[in-house]
Amino acid sequence: MSRVAVVTGGTRGIGAAISTALKETGCTVAAIYGGNDEAAAKFKDDTGIAVYKCDVSDTQACAENLGQIEKDLGGIDILVNNAGITRDTMFHRMDAEKWNAVINTNLNSLFNMCRPVIEGMRERKFGRIINISSINGQKGQMGQTNYSAAKAGELGFTKALAQENAFKGITVNAICPGYIGTEMVRAVPEDVLNEKILPLIPVGRLGEPEEIARCVTFLASDDAGFITGSTLSANGGQVMV
Ligand code: CAA
């Protein structure tokens, strides 16, 4: 059976790898992107995956876009909340704009995206919600009070929503990637990345987006129906919880 999957932040970085991997498993995929039209158009050309522009921090826009996706592709079976931003700075220099931007995009987006799809999943008695959290939601990270708070919040949300929907055939899980070789991580100052972060990764390298995508395709599969409310760490051994 072909499932319909939605991936936020689905045209670049980890999200692009997730969209592509889900398509390879036979899903019909909609990749939501926030602003980079050029990257989205290239992604669509390269992969044939439908793209939708939507600010995941905007409640109304999410409801409208998800409604459109359901009209175009059918009921949504799999939702991957991957969109995320960083606004790194020490807390004593952080302003409200940096705090709110990260909380709105990384955490409030889970309400905005899950709320419109959860009733349909409950009616159809099947759903897979996968939230891409972060190692830094598990351990905290200097320079990221905003991001760490949002990513830790995603873990609580995941466990609560999992409990509410387990008996309806819906699983809700989180993945906590470590440092993956994407633009977001490459934006970390090079000396910090090389001297402070890489030496802490026992596997000795950054992760690959495809390594996270393979976690997603497993959790999205029918085979993973007994796994819900879990947190899957994929961080090269950097933190073991
Ligand atoms: N781990 C360990 N030490 C770190 C560090 C980190 N991640 N980030 C900074 N430091 C250290 C610096 O090396 C420096 O130490 P020394 O004085 O001994 O050299 C000290 O903290 C101060 O750092 P800066 O000189 O860079 O100070 P700053 O005020 O200009 O910037 C900062 C501070 C905002 C924390 C900046 O260093 C920074 O952006 N660091 C990276 C933070 C980070 O890890 N972000 C993760 C982004 S990737 C991501 O978020 C994806 C994901 O889910 C994993």
pLDDT digits (tens, 9 = 90+) for 149-170: 999 999 999 999 999 999 999 9
- What is the per-residue pLDDT for 58? 98
In a domain, 129, yes or no: yes
What angle is formed at CA 17 by the lines to CA 14 and CA 22, rounded to 5 degrees? 125
**Taking 80 as the threshold, does the pLDDT of residue 134 lie above it?**
yes
Name the nearest CA neighbour of 233 among 241, 221, 223, 224: 241
First to last CA, the chain: 36
In a domain, 51, yes or no: yes
| Interatomic CA distance for residues 178 and 101, integer angstroms | 22
In a domain, 31, yes or no: yes
- Tally the C-alpha atoms within 13 A of residue 105's C-alpha that lie toward its C-beta: 22
Quick one: what percent of the chain has pLDDT higher than 90?
Answer: 98
Burial 15-44 (b: 16+ CB within 10 A, else e): bbbbbbbbbebebbbbbbbbeeeeebeebe
Residue nearest to atom 11 of ligand 1 (CA): 192
Q: Tell me which of 107, 182, 196, 198 to substitute to probe ligand 1's pocket, judged by most ligand atoms within 8 Å of the beta carbon.
A: 196
Number of domains in the chain: 1
In a domain, 237, yes or no: no
- What is the per-residue pLDDT for 35? 92
In a domain, 239, yes or no: no
Measure 155 CA to ligand 1 centroid, in angstroms: 23
> Between the CA of residue 49 and those of 22, 119, 191, what are the distances in Å?
10, 25, 37
**Taking 90 as the threshold, does the pLDDT of residue 1 lie above it?**
no
Residue nearest to atom 15 of ligand 1 (CA): 192
Quick one: what percent of the chain has pLDDT higher than 70?
Answer: 100
Ligand 1 near 88 CB (within 6 A): yes
Q: Write the CATH number for 74.
A: 3.40.50.720
Mean pLDDT along residues 216-233: 98
Question: Taking the C-alpha atoms of 139, 218, 214 and 165 in order, what is their torsion angle to the nearest 10 degrees?
Answer: -50
In a domain, 159, yes or no: yes
- What is the per-residue pLDDT for 41? 97
Ligand 1 near 196 CB (within 6 A): yes
**Taking 90 as the threshold, does the pLDDT of residue 196 lie above it?**
yes
Residue nearest to atom 17 of ligand 1 (CA): 192
In a domain, 241, yes or no: no
Among 52-66, 75-89, 99-113, 181-195, the minimum mean pLDDT is found in 181-195
**Banded model confidence at residue 16, pLDDT cuts 50, 70, 90:** very high
* Domain range for 183: 4-232
In a domain, 240, yes or no: no
